[in-house]
Amino acid sequence: MANKVIYAVYEDPELLKDGARKLVSNGIKVKDVFSPFPVHGIDPIIGITRTRLGIAAFMFGITGTCLALLGIWYFNIFDWPMNIGGKPSQALYKNLPAFIPVTFEFTVLCAAHGMSITYLIRNKTLPGMPARNPDPRTTDDKFIIEVRTHENHGHSAEAITDLLRTTQVFEINERQY
């Protein structure tokens, strides 16, 4: 028996959520969902674990803070001490208020860029990478559930298709891979 992948196409995010709920309640694992915009509340239904992007962003931010303070300390205190605006104290902690804006900006820069790039790499959507959505209509007005038979050994492709037909599905496509 060849492995099959089944695409159930829906016309509305709510109908898609109902369909996904029905599949999951019957013990069928949903591989992924494709949609033109984020569908609220789909993650817990198809069992997607929480993103760790926030933790990554925090790490990038902390890195930015440390780099900025290190740089400022080296440029303005250690390598070439500068007296700007009558603030010659020449210790990082004494001149700190003046360095906060730079540190803040650099923290935001590192966190934002690091987070965006991590996101693009993790999703394999860096510029030039091949598109992975099965149907171009998911970038317009269709919502697709993807189910793979080799992940659902207890169910035949026919059983899954029959179950999908009981939901308000628009069309069902099957493909070998």
CA distance 110 to 117: 10
Q: Looking at 27, 38, 85, 128, which residue binds another protein (CB under 8 A)?
A: 85
Dihedral over Cα of 114, 115, 120, 126: its sign: negative
Q: Looking at 27, 38, 86, 130, which residue binds another protein (CB under 8 A)?
A: 86
Q: Looking at 11, 12, 14, 54, which residue binds another protein (CB under 8 A)?
A: 54
Q: Looking at 27, 38, 101, 154, which residue binds another protein (CB under 8 A)?
A: 101
Instruction: For another protein, give the closer residue by CB, 8 or 20.
Output: 20
Contact yes or no for 79/71 (Cβ under 8 A): no
**DSSP H helix total and E strand total for the chain:** 5, 4
Contact yes or no for 41/17 (Cβ under 8 A): yes
Smallest distance from another protein to CB 85, Å: 6
Does residue 53 interact with another protein by CB under 8 A?
A: no
Q: Looking at 26, 70, 87, 171, which residue binds another protein (CB under 8 A)?
A: 87
Instruction: For another protein, give the closer residue by CB, 103 or 149.
Output: 103
The angle formed by the CA atoms of residues 121, 125 and 131, to the nearest 5 degrees, is 145
Does residue 88 interact with another protein by CB under 8 A?
A: no
Contact yes or no for 173/7 (Cβ under 8 A): yes
| Strand (E) or helix (H) holding 172 | strand 171-176
Does residue 40 interact with another protein by CB under 8 A?
A: yes
Does residue 38 interact with another protein by CB under 8 A?
A: no
Q: What is the dihedral of CA 120, 121, 123, 129, to 10 degrees?
A: 90
Instruction: For another protein, give the closer residue by CB, 108 or 129.
Output: 108
Binding-site ranges for another protein (CB under 8 A): 40-41, 54, 58, 85-87, 97-98, 100-101
